[in-house]
Chains A and B, each alone.
Chain A
């Protein structure tokens, strides 16, 4: 396809300035024509005549350029006339003229380009954060109230939904949780043995691995994996239902979305996260033991002797934390799902947000537990 060409020739006549337009006034030539038209220098008060006889092809972009120039010249006080336009182009000109001269849309611009804007943004974000925390607390209240109401009518508990959620969040997550904690156990034992050997204490490798996995790493890793895996799924599932107006449909049928959607996920996760943590602890210590046996030559009976020196509290500290982490992950996941507006775009945004928030809160809570347990001296 040959590239289109358009021309504009200026001709001075005593009565007026003649602008002879010719060729193909199309969107393809618009950038070029736009430059030429803007560069026109017309003395104020001078009469301008557009001679359009030479225009072979015209589209809305070309028509717009003609009309814009006419409009600009008229604003400056020049008399403008258009002549010799082919009759077949007249409807097009009329259509564009009817649309009128519209001010171009302003592009959205971030507000923090100035120092004042930056400070204002810090304020806005802080206020939004507080409002958010308040709103999440409110959601927690609604879920708790619904759970208490349900406790009085235990037969309404949707066992099928809970079991289905347990399969998705628990059974299906077993391979990834098991594999990752096994690898972490291997890594801790390997790295730990190196450092401990320096002090001649390499036989304590088993204690180091077991204590760190039981108290912290097992439950924390499991919670983080589940926040990324199931928390995000909760947000996406509930969010998609929001977009499809399924939540509204539920309400009109008399179903309580919190009861039908949130509680099964919450209960399921509160049951599966401790179980997954148990499995994670086992796999982590197994990995550490394997490494101790392979690198340090610690035999199986020796391994169990070392392991028995770990206090039972180490195990319980990890297990006690897991249902709390489950509550955080399920609540945040469902809450963000309900925040989805009508657009599908917000599903993606809020899913990301839900994972980040859940992991953040899990770690903050973990720090809180750490302080609590150390003040209890366990």
Chain B
């Protein structure tokens, strides 16, 4: 489980993001610890994806500091940036697979970029990554346009995991999936977290995912962030957070998960 005593693997301090006259973040602080699954929630336009893009260096904030694995993303040299990119994988919303390459070739792209491997080994690694994310045999030969939405997400995850990263960033991994596929995806993330020791940073709208796999949840409200375990946030009196977790959907997700959750994670209840 999350090692909260250790150094945080991601540390965001005083983040301010502004687009034109519109302020999205105004002093966001967040720490993510090694081995935990953190879920980022918030209303539409509250800057969840902007936060993710800022942490992985795709968006330059107006003010604030972002550290990943101990080094500052905003001031590092290009070489350090390359070095740190080996240690994270990103799954974009619709997979963002390169459409001119097959799934196997997509997975091989980061491997080829960073390591000098014989072609045969590349193909083998790509093939077992396809298996690990639960795609059927033969998917590696297909092009992204031949896959369904759920398969594209799994293929995107396989590419994100190509370098065996320490952190994976997931942008709405279950959006657009049917409930069964979404549930399978949750289980997949949980299994991979426990077997590979991943730290998972997940932007999501899916209450079931939150209850099923997240150790802690960060809520973006009023341009700031509130972080806590689900139990803590369920007690929060902020109106948006209250209606988020205590609305009909929140209650249903809570009911379906509390039973299994207590058995699975006794630690969570004692926090």
Sort chain B's interface into a size bin: 35 or more
B126 touches A104 (CB 8 A): yes
Q: Measured between alpha carbons, how far is A95 from B133 in the docked complex, in Å?
A: 10
Q: Which of B50-58, B103-111, B169-177, B200-208 has 4 or more CB atoms under 8 Å from chain A?
A: B103-111
CB-CB under 8 A for A105 and B164, given A28-B115, A60-B196: no
CB distance from B239 to the nearest CB of A (A): 35
Among A26, A60, A101, the residue within 8 A (CB) of B132 is: A60
Q: Measured between alpha carbons, how far is A103 from B139 in the docked complex, in Å?
A: 11
B77 contacts chain A at the CB level, 8 A cutoff: no
Among B103, B116, B132, the residue within 8 A (CB) of A105 is: B103
A100 contacts chain B at the CB level, 8 A cutoff: yes
B104 touches A104 (CB 8 A): yes
A79 contacts chain B at the CB level, 8 A cutoff: no
CB distance from B197 to the nearest CB of A (A): 8
Of B83, B132, B139, chain A has the most CB atoms within 10 Å of the CB of: B132
Main secondary structure of the interface of B (DSSP, over half): helix
B192 touches A95 (CB 8 A): yes
CB distance from B227 to the nearest CB of A (A): 28
CB distance from A299 to the nearest CB of B (A): 60
Q: Measured between alpha carbons, how far is A96 from B121 in the docked complex, in Å?
A: 16
B111 touches A105 (CB 8 A): no
Q: Which residues on B sit within 8 Å (CB–CB) of A91?
A: 194-195
Q: Which of B140-148, B179-187, B257-265 has 4 or more CB atoms under 8 Å from chain A?
A: B140-148
A30 touches B196 (CB 8 A): no
A60 touches B128 (CB 8 A): yes
Q: Measured between alpha carbons, how far is A343 from B99 in the docked complex, in Å?
A: 8
Q: Measured between alpha carbons, how far is A94 from B140 in the docked complex, in Å?
A: 22
B123 contacts chain A at the CB level, 8 A cutoff: yes
Q: Which residues on A sit within 8 Å (CB–CB) of B116?
A: 31
Among A24-62, those with CB < 8 Å from B are: 26-28, 30-31, 34-35, 59-61
CB-CB under 8 A for A60 and B131, given A94-B195, A105-B103: no
CB distance from B189 to the nearest CB of A (A): 12
A60-B132, A64-B128 known; 16 new pairs, CB 8 Å cut-off, are A26-B164, A27-B111, A30-B121, A31-B117, A34-B118, A59-B164, A60-B164, A60-B196, A99-B132, A102-B127, A102-B137, A104-B104, A105-B139, A107-B104, A108-B102, A343-B99
27 contacts between A and B (CB under 8 A): A1-B83, A27-B164, A30-B117, A31-B117, A31-B118, A60-B128, A60-B129, A61-B125, A91-B195, A96-B128, A99-B128, A101-B128, A102-B128, A103-B127, A103-B137, A104-B120, A104-B123, A104-B140, A105-B103, A105-B123, A105-B130, A105-B139, A105-B140, A106-B141, A107-B104, A345-B99, A345-B145
